[in-house]
Amino acid sequence: MKRKTTFPLLAACLFSVSLANAQINTPSLTTSNAPLLALTTQPAAKTTSPEEAPADIQQPKAGYKNFAFGIYAGLNSTKLRGETTGGDISGRLGYQAGVFVRGGGRIYGQLGAEYFASSSNYFTRGDGSTPSQIQDQINISYIQVPVYVGYKLLESDRGISAIRLQVGAEYANRISTSSGDFDLSNSEIKSGTFNALGQLGFDIGPVLIDLTYHHGLSDAIEGTGFNGSSRRILSASVGFKF
């Protein structure tokens, strides 16, 4: 009977010791969750909008206008290099109308086509072989193909409004002529010439204003008495781009 009473007491003691050890070895809830709570209470990282980003990591401007198509028309004044100052040399006004496509950013390229009607009131003195001096208008119409490389000196955020500087060249193909008293034949007026171009342009939204200088690189007339007939032209145009 004594052994039977001792065994339950011994089992109860061992169970009490095991329970005490388990409580000692188990970490408290507040201690183990402290790092997790600290993580959840950290402030959220601040996001930076494209507008607030430093200049060196700015995103490309949204909606920049890289391509444009346009139409224009205007007036021009033409002088042939070899004209003398004798006589009345007024009445030089001609006109032009054309289209163009433009592509690129601040540096861009432009290709166009235009109808160009020029008028020169040429004057020649009598040279002994003719009875008198001759003065009359020489009117020549061309289809011209200008090609430019341009740079926007100033521009708006989307590139729609700008101040432009362009340089280039054009091929001028003669399509009709009239020379009055000079009575020049088609063989005496070159069918094709090249001009160097310089242009200052202004884009005001969809409206454009261009001031262009055309410098003839070769003579336009090969007839006798026309020494130095390369063209010198100033033109002004107003147009719209889309």
DSSP assignment of 104-123 equals: ESSEEEEEEEEEEEEEEEEE
Residue 56 belongs to some domain of the structure? no
Quote the number of domains for the chain: 2
Residue 157 belongs to some domain of the structure? yes
159: left (phi over 0), alpha (psi -120 to 50) or beta: left
- pTM score, two decimals? 0.69
Q: How far apart are CA 96 and CA 116, in angstroms?
A: 4
Q: Quote the DSSP letter at residue 237.
A: E
Q: How far apart are CA 65 and CA 91, in angstroms?
A: 41
pLDDT over 80 at 211, yes or no: yes
79 in the same domain as 193: yes
Q: H or E stretch including 135?
A: strand 134-155
Contact 223, 182 (CB under 8 A): yes
Indicate the pLDDT class of residue 146, thresholds 50, 70 and 90. very high
- Of 51-65, 69-83, 114-128, 183-197, give the lowest mean pLDDT range: 51-65
73 in the same domain as 169: yes
- Residue 94: which CATH number? 2.40.160.20
Q: Which residue has the tokens 């010791």?
A: 17
131 in the same domain as 34: no
120 in the same domain as 19: no
Indicate the pLDDT class of residue 181, thresholds 50, 70 and 90. low
Indicate the pLDDT class of residue 91, thresholds 50, 70 and 90. low
pLDDT over 80 at 192, yes or no: yes
**pLDDT at residue number 38:** 44
Q: How far apart are CA 8 and CA 13, in angstroms?
A: 9
Indicate the pLDDT class of residue 183, thresholds 50, 70 and 90. confident
134 in the same domain as 87: yes
Residue 18 belongs to some domain of the structure? yes
233 in the same domain as 183: yes
Q: How far is the CA of 100 from the CAs of 63, 82, 84, 199, 239, in angstroms?
A: 21, 32, 36, 14, 10
Q: How far is the CA of 149 from the CAs of 109, 114, 185, 228, in angstroms?
A: 5, 17, 36, 29
Residue 51 belongs to some domain of the structure? no
Indicate the pLDDT class of residue 135, thresholds 50, 70 and 90. low
96 in the same domain as 30: no
pLDDT over 50 at 216, yes or no: yes
Mapped to the 3 state alphabet, what secondary structure does 177-215 carry?
EECHHHCCCHHHECCEEEEEEEEEEEEECCEEEEEEEEE
**pLDDT at residue number 81:** 79
18 in the same domain as 89: no
Q: How far is the CA of 89 from the CAs of 41, 104, 183, 223, 232, in angstroms?
A: 88, 42, 18, 20, 14
Stretch 97-118: mean pLDDT: 97
pLDDT over 90 at 161, yes or no: yes
Residue 47 belongs to some domain of the structure? no
pLDDT over 90 at 115, yes or no: yes
> What average pLDDT is seen over the chain?
77
137 in the same domain as 78: yes
**pLDDT at residue number 10:** 53
Residue 226 belongs to some domain of the structure? yes
Stretch 185-204: mean pLDDT: 91
Residue 235 belongs to some domain of the structure? yes
Indicate the pLDDT class of residue 39, thresholds 50, 70 and 90. very low
Q: H or E stretch including 150?
A: strand 134-155
Stretch 35-43: mean pLDDT: 47
**Which is nearest to 143 in space by CA: 169, 112, 165?**
112
100 in the same domain as 9: no
Residue 53 belongs to some domain of the structure? no
Query: 138: domain range?
Result: 65-241
Q: Which amino acid is at 157?
A: D
189 in the same domain as 154: yes
83 in the same domain as 21: no
C-alpha torsion sign, points 219, 95, 100, 206? positive
